[in-house]
Every structure is written in C-alpha cells, then in structure tokens.
C-alpha cells in the first residue's frame, strides 16, 4: 500500500514511518526536514497547509492509497495561537484529499479534546476542551466527520494520551528528569504524583497508529493507548530505574495541577481488536 505520512520528521511521525516500512508499505514522507525520516521512505518537502487548496495536490503527493495526517505545529505548546490560525487549513487539506478520491484518511487526535474528565474515555465521551490545542483538534474532528459522512472514505481519528520513550525528542516530565540527572541534580522536585494517566511507549503507539491506519474494518474515533491508568510517581520511579538515573524524586514540592484528573485513561477495545485482526491475518 502507498501511504502518505505528514509530519513524518516529528516525534511521532518518524517512528510511524519506521513501522510502516517494516510492514513493507511504500511510504511518502512529507515534512520540512528529513533528518529523522527513514531513508527507505520517499521524502517530499511540501507545505501542505499553504497548498491545502491546490487542485493537483493529490497528484503532487503521489496519489497515495491512504493518508496519515500527523502534522501539527506547536503540539507541545497548548496555548499557541497557531492552533487556531491553522485549523481551517488542516481541514481544507483533508477535504482536498477526500475530494480527490482517497479512500482512507487517519488523523492524529489528542486526549486534550476531552478537557477535564475522571475515569475511562470512550469514543462517546463528551468533549469540553480547555486549551487552544484541544479546541482546534476537537473542531477539526467535528468538521472532518461531518464532511466525510456521505463520502466513500474511511476516517480514523486516532486519539493519543500520555507518550513516553525516545525522551530526548519529547518535551515531557521524563525529558526534564533526564536533563536534571545529566546536570548532576540529586533531587527532582515533583508533585505527590498520585494522579493516574494512560501511558504508552512511543514504539507501541507508532505500531497502533500504523496498524489502525492500514485497515478499513474499524474506523471513527480510535483510542491509541494502553487502556491502563498508572500513577505518575510509579511511572517516574520506573523511568529512573530503567535509565539508571541517580536522581531521586522529591515528592510533594509542587501542588497538584487543578486541571489534572485524579485518574484518566482511554478505552482500548477498538485498538485491541484491530491488533488482533492484524496478527491473525
């Protein structure tokens, strides 16, 4: 299968490209840089947002069978104005591919669409986003689903949660722990760490994203996640042990953030079924 991956040089995208190539797919990798893109992929430097309304964009992108739209500016800055400014261009890009006849489109979603929630997040959980990032992603999803409902295209909205692994290219608390340890800090100021989140390693996430995208039996909102809540302090202690860090957590220095749920995790029934079907085939 010929698969287009936008944002292919990004933290998530570069790992997804590797998985797709390992699955023997032909990959068209689109981004502004290619220093992290697998050389077995065909690289295109195309400004997909500025060219979102280009009539022959589908042809420029090599007429892929499937598009995986992972590109998103300022993903780690949830209040960047770019989330709002670029949202319509993201929709027009996806609309252009659908109008050109593509049969499958996967789009990267986020748990930030939901806003504050306690417990399991399903595909039917109401959304009340609390940041520009969440608002833009939530609006894009609604627009894409409304536009595609009468079209012959499979839409997969891949909703991710808390990502770990390849931490030097991440912007998480685990990245900061690595940096602190390298500076020789003996303690790392922390919250109580009792909040429970749905953590997933970037390699497992990339596998879930790739596998969900290349099949068309299950679509709609698909939580790409572990489906298991884990306390932040437990995950941090595990991280310290696995990476042989000398630093120790200093629990309770910072208060719990008001917008962090005591426990939140994704319903992984769909992705489990997708993976089971893939390995059985």
- Quote the Cα angle for 144-147-151, to 5°: 110
Q: What are phi and psi of 221, to 5 degrees?
A: -75, 125
First to last CA, the chain: 16
| Residue 79 annotated in active site | no
- Nearest residue to 94 via CA among 157, 18, 41: 157
Cβ neighbourhood burial of 132 (10 Å; 0-12, 13-18, 19+): buried
Kindly list the strands in the beta sheet with 229-231, ordered across the sheet, starting from the edge strand earlier in the chain: 162-164, 196-201, 229-231
CA 200 → CA 39, 60, 161, 190, 223, distances in Å? 26, 34, 8, 21, 11
If one counts every other C-beta atom within 10 angstroms of the C-beta of residue 213, the result is 29
Q: Which of 133, 161, 162, 265 is catalytic?
A: 133
Residues marked active site are found at: 133
């Amino acid at each position: 299968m010929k698969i287009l991956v936008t944002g292919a040089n990004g933290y998530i995208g570069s790992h997804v490209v590797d998985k797709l190539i390992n699955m023997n797919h032909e990959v068209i990798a689109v981004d502004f840089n290619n220093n992290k893109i697998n050389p077995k992929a065909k690289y295109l430097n195309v400004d997909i947002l500025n060219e979102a309304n280009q009539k022959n964009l589908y042809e420029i992108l090599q007429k892929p069978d499937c598009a995986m739209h992972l590109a998103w500016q300022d993903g780690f800055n949830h209040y960047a104005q770019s989330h709002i400014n670029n949202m319509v261009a993201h929709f027009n890009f996806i609309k252009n591919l659908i109008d050109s006849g593509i049969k499958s489109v996967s789009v990267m979603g986020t748990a930030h669409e939901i806003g504050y929630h306690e417990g399991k997040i399903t595909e039917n959980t109401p959304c009340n986003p609390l940041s520009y990032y969440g608002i833009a992603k939530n609006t894009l999803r609604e627009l894409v689903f409304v536009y595609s409902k009468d079209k012959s295209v499979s839409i997969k909205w891949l909703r991710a949660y808390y990502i770990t692994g390849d931490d030097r290219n991440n912007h998480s608390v685990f990245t900061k722990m690595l940096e602190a340890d390298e500076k020789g800090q003996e303690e790392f100021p922390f919250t109580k760490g009792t909040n429970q989140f749905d953590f997933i390693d970037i390699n497992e996430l990339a596998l879930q994203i790739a596998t969900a995208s290349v099949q068309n039996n299950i679509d709609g909102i698909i939580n790409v996640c572990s489906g298991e809540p884990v306390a932040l302090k437990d995950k941090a202690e595990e991280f310290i042990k696995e990476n042989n860090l000398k630093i120790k957590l200093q629990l309770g220095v910072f208060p719990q953030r008001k917008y962090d749920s005591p426990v939140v995790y994704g319903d992984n029934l769909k992705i489990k079924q997708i993976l089971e079907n893939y390995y059985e085939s």
